[in-house]
Amino acid sequence: MERKKMYGIILFVVGLVFIMLNVIVVYPNISCFYAPYAFWLLAIVGVTGGILLFFDIKLFHSEEN
């Protein structure tokens, strides 16, 4: 398995862990305003980055002449 796919799987799993952590730990014990947003941001970045790396999706594609 190539390195990009492994990084993609790792990022995807990290994103899913942050989602579970947010739902199970952070929401029942909200003690500050920004904590849930920080965890959701990390989860979205992890899942999106994992999908982009795993499927080798290029957001900024430049055509070479």
pLDDT value at residue 64: 62
34: in domain = yes
Structural domain harbouring 43: 3-54
Asked if the model's pLDDT at residue 27 lies above 90, the reply is no
Per-residue tokens: 38 = 């920080």
Q: In Å, how far are 5, 8, 17, 29, 38 from 26, measured between CA atoms?
A: 30, 25, 12, 5, 10
Q: Is residue 30 part of a domain?
A: yes
- Residue 28 to residues 14, 25, 36, 41: CA-CA distances in angstroms? 21, 6, 10, 18
pLDDT band (50, 70, 90) for residue 45: very high
39 occurs within a structural domain: yes
Tell me if 62 is assigned to some domain.
no
Domain assignment present for residue 42? The answer is: yes
pTM recorded for the entire structure: 0.77
Do the domain assignments include residue 43?
yes
Looking at residue 40, its pLDDT comes to: 85
Residue 18's CB is within 10 A of a number of other CB atoms, namely 21
Report the pLDDT value the prediction gives residue 37, as an integer from 0 to 100. Answer: 82
Domain count along the chain? 1
